[in-house]
Amino acid sequence: MEKKKILITGSNGLLGQKLVELLVSKAHIETIATARGSNRLPFSSGYRYIEMDITRPETVDQLLGAERPDVIIHTAAMTNVDQCETEKDACWKLNVTATETLVAACAKYGIFLVHVSTDFVFDGTSGPYREQDIPNPISFYGWSKYAAEKAVMSSDIDWAIARTVLVYGVAHDMSRSNIILWVKKSLEEGKAIKVVTDQFRTPTLAEDLATGCFLIADQEAKGIYHISGKDFLTPYDMAIMTAEHFGLDASLISPTDASAFTQPARRPPRTGFNLTKSRNVLGYEPHSFREGIEILAGQI
pLDDT tens digits for 49-107?
999 999 999 999 999 999 999 999 999 999 999 999 999 999 999 999 999 999 999 99
Q: What is the pLDDT of residue 175?
A: 72
Examine residue 16 and state whether it is found in any structural domain, yes or no.
Answer: yes
Give pLDDT < 50 ranges for the chain: none
Q: What is the pLDDT of residue 285?
A: 98
pLDDT tens digits for 125-140?
999 999 999 999 999 9
CATH of the domain at 126: 3.40.50.720
The total domain count for the chain is 1
Phi, psi of 8 (to 5 degrees): -110, 130
Examine residue 174 and state whether it is found in any structural domain, yes or no.
Answer: no
Residue 11 lies in domain = 4-169+204-230+273-287
Q: How far apart are CA 196 and CA 260, in angstroms?
A: 9
Examine residue 67 and state whether it is found in any structural domain, yes or no.
Answer: yes
Examine residue 80 and state whether it is found in any structural domain, yes or no.
Answer: yes
Examine residue 298 and state whether it is found in any structural domain, yes or no.
Answer: no
Examine residue 181 and state whether it is found in any structural domain, yes or no.
Answer: no
Alpha helix ranges (H) inside 31-87: 57-67, 81-86
Q: What is the pLDDT of residue 174?
A: 75
Q: What is the pLDDT of residue 258?
A: 87
SS3 letters for 129-187? ECCCCCCCCCCHHHHHHHHHHHHHHCCCCCEEEEEECCEECCCCCCCCCCHHHHHHHHH
Q: What is the pLDDT of residue 261?
A: 85
Q: What is the pLDDT of residue 177?
A: 84
Q: How far apart are CA 82 and CA 95, in angstroms?
A: 14
Q: How far apart are CA 279 and CA 155, in angstroms?
A: 27
Q: What is the pLDDT of residue 19?
A: 98
Examine residue 175 and state whether it is found in any structural domain, yes or no.
Answer: no
Examine residue 78 and state whether it is found in any structural domain, yes or no.
Answer: yes
